Amino acid sequence: MAISLSASSIPRLSGENPAASSSMSPLRLRLPAGARGFGGGARRISVNSKPRGFSLVVEAKKQTYNSFDDLLAKSEKPVLVDFYATWCGPCQFMVPILNEVSIRLNDTIQVVKIDTEKYPSIADKYKIEALPTFIIFKDGKPFERFEGALTADQLIQRIEDSLKVKQ
């Protein structure tokens, strides 16, 4: 069973026809055929942490990932990772903001979200404590990190400053 990473925008948020929209939004995993998540057609998968020859397919780019490390290694753009938890208020507050930032900074950065309760080992690896924690990965390595909710403009400013200055 392949998992698709879809780059289409999220219908409920934008209110637009996803087929008509060519904008990129945060990568989300999409399961084929039956397995569905909740809330507006969004998908969620529960996985165990050992890759078993399974692959992730990104619909837009036809890339295959075996793990988070693989995703980082294969990304052509810097990656903004949002470490979050379901019942973390500020994390939920950031959901529409990240969507907007992902669209506005489409060419600059790729946005990925990680549920720290589903992937505790990844959260441990990067010593995540407060949520949300954002880490900008460049060339597969953590480049900058910061915690807490912020507005879309603040986040964009933060990302642009970070990528510009430390070039």
Partner 1 sequence: MTLQASSFAAVGLPSLAPRLCRSRRGPVVRAKVEPSEKSVEIMRKFSEQYARRSGTYFCVDKGVTSVVIKGLADHKDTLGAPLCPCRHYDDKPAEAAQGFWNCPCVPMRERKECHCMLFLTPENDFAGQDQAISFEEIKESTSNM
Footprint of partner 1 on 66-85 (CB under 8 A) = 66-68, 70-71, 83-85
In whole angstroms, the minimum distance from the beta carbon of 164 to partner 1 comes to 25
> Judged by CB under 8 A, how many residues of this single chain contact partner 1?
77
15 is an interface residue for partner 1 by CB under 8 A: no
Draw the binding track, 42-71, toward partner 1 (x: CB under 8 A; -: no contact): xxxxxxxxxxxxxxx--------xxxx-xx
- Which token pair is 38? 């909740």
- CA-to-CA distance for 52 and 66, rounded, in angstroms? 9
Mode of pairing for the β-strands spanning 110-115 and 133-138:
unpaired
- CA-to-CA distance for 87 and 159, rounded, in angstroms? 26
Contact 114, 85 (CB under 8 A): no
Q: Contacting partner 1 (CB under 8 A), which of 145, 147, 152, 158?
A: 147
Peptide bond into 96 cis (omega under 30): no
Q: Contacting partner 1 (CB under 8 A), which of 59, 124, 153, 160?
A: 124
Catalytic positions, written as ranges: 88, 91
